[in-house]
């Protein structure tokens, strides 16, 4: 691995609050999706995988779109019913 990609992999991605002691843990792409130990309290911590985070974002977005679609369909049905009733 050359220096540039090494640097990339070890770049800090995020601060993750430790689920045990709430202290922020810096984690890098190299740690993503792996288990490690919190430097503050020594408890086992699983770093979230990057792919997983992206998947969760996509899932949330899809859920929002689905909610919007349901609302639009209900509105369309209501309008249709109103149209029938008002004839």
Instruction: List contacts with Zn ion (CB under 5 A).
Output: 18, 20-21, 38, 40-41
CB-nearer residue toward Zn ion: 9 or 18: 18
Q: Which residues face 14 on adjacent strands?
A: 27
User: Distance (Å, rounded) from C-alpha 48 to C-alpha 16?
Assistant: 9
Least distance to Zn ion from the beta carbon of 36, Å?
11
CB-nearer residue toward Zn ion: 21 or 65: 21
CB-nearer residue toward Zn ion: 44 or 51: 44
Q: Strand pairing of 12-17 and 35-37?
A: unpaired
């Amino acid at each position: 691995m050359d220096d540039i990609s090494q640097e990339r992999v070890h770049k800090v991605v995020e601060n993750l609050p430790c689920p045990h002691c709430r202290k922020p843990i810096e984690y890098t792409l190299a740690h993503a999706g792996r288990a490690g130990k919190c430097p503050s309290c020594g408890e086992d911590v699983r770093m979230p995988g990057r792919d997983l985070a992206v998947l969760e974002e996509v899932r949330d977005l899809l859920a929002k779109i689905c909610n919007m679609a349901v609302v639009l369909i209900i509105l369309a049905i209501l309008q249709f019913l109103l149209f029938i009733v008002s004839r």
